[in-house]
Amino acid sequence: MTEAPIVNNTLTVEAVTYYNYTTPLEIAKREIKGRSESSFLAPTEILVKTKYAALNPVDVCLWQLCPTWLKRGQPKGFGGDFSGVVLQTGSEVKSFKAGDKIYGDIISPYSPYGSFANYQVIDVTKQTKIAKVPEGLPMEKAAGIVIPFATAYELITRHKNLKDANVLVLGGGTSVGMMGLQIVRHLGAKYILTTCSSKSNSIAYDFGAHETVDYHDKEAEYKQIVEAAKKHGKFDLIFDTCRDEVLVGRLKDVLKTKREGGKYIQVMGSNTMTYGTVRYTDMLPSRGNLREQILSKLRLSNYDFAIGNLSDGAGYAKAVSDMWEKKQFNVLVDTIYKFEEFQKAVDKFQTGYVKGKLLVEFN
């Protein structure tokens, strides 16, 4: 196994960093000092050699929205999702040992640490979204799991029973949507409809959709969703990964009421799926969505409508293992770049024309 380059109890890490939205992303060296003279790690820390890091919208949004006054002069780390190999463990770490292949998410907004770094020192009591890679799951796929999968898993499982359910996934071509399709199939949904472009059609079928609808013509999209609800029954769950407004204000013909157990859950995110320039206003929910959520919260609507975020993602790692074991799980990878070429990954990401995960690979 590779030894970490710790010299004089100091590890030199190469990491992608930035200062604020006006500064570029760049690779810089930073030193991590040993925690004590006798041990480089604190008792609850692990040292990891990164194998792959994966890009997510939140990484680019954090960079593009970082004001110039925030922790001025302190470089911020970039990225959250990764896979890697444990090199050392602190004296109190029981869950991992040297040599373990792990994957996880260490996102910590505007801290000096991010997953786009060749080594990571992780406190496993603070960064809890770390798990062992299931046997046989390739490391590049493992790197792309946590943010999209845990988000989809946490929000979808707010619906307590999807056995034989009808589910609509708005945005089956997004990374969160691809995970969502596989999750609802795994949870036993009977009929799965999704919206996506023709580029994502066959992927959506592979991941569990029974039918797809193109989202570009909004009235045609609405009509096809209503037709599907007439034929198969109203939806038990509508999971919106892309802030599609098509059903807002007209849920009557498509979603079961709150009393009937229906739920509409929208993933909080940007109102544009391209990330060339991100503005604060892009992150605000639309008036229609906000109205649905407020009416639902105040019990003034028949529908359970919520906008949600990834928090602890409880249960995601077990679900990944179960699904992988049952051959019901895959992660679509768009392109893998060398770490030194990370900017190419960011540039491609900012075009919005991405199919699956963009990764960087470390030597």
Q: Which residues bind ligand NAP (CB under 6 A)?
A: 56-58, 147-148, 151, 171, 173-176, 195-197, 199-200, 215, 241-242, 244, 267-270, 273, 309-310, 354-355
Q: Shortest approach of ligand NAP to residue 215 CB, angstroms?
A: 4
CB-nearer residue toward ligand NAP: 121 or 333:
333
How would you classify the pairing of strands 76-77 and 81-89?
unpaired
Do the Cβ atoms of 316 and 326 come closer than 8 Å? no
Long-range contacts from 333-338, C-beta under 8 angstroms, 24+ separation: 333/140, 333/141, 333/144, 333/357, 333/359, 334/358, 335/359, 336/52, 336/140, 336/360, 336/361, 337/361
Do the Cβ atoms of 52 and 71 come closer than 8 Å? no
Q: Shortest approach of ligand NAP to residue 225 CB, angstroms?
A: 13
Backbone angles phi, psi at 346, to 5 degrees: -65, -45
Do the Cβ atoms of 30 and 112 come closer than 8 Å? yes
Do the Cβ atoms of 122 and 209 come closer than 8 Å? no
Provide the CB-side half-sphere exposure for 216 (13 A, CA): 4
Residue 14, Cβ density class (10 Å: 0-12 exposed, 13-18 middle, ≥19 buried):
middle
Rounded Cα distance, 220 and 227, in Å: 10
**Tokens 């002069």 -> residue:** 73
Tokens found for residue 358: 């963009």
Rounded Cα distance, 188 and 61, in Å: 34
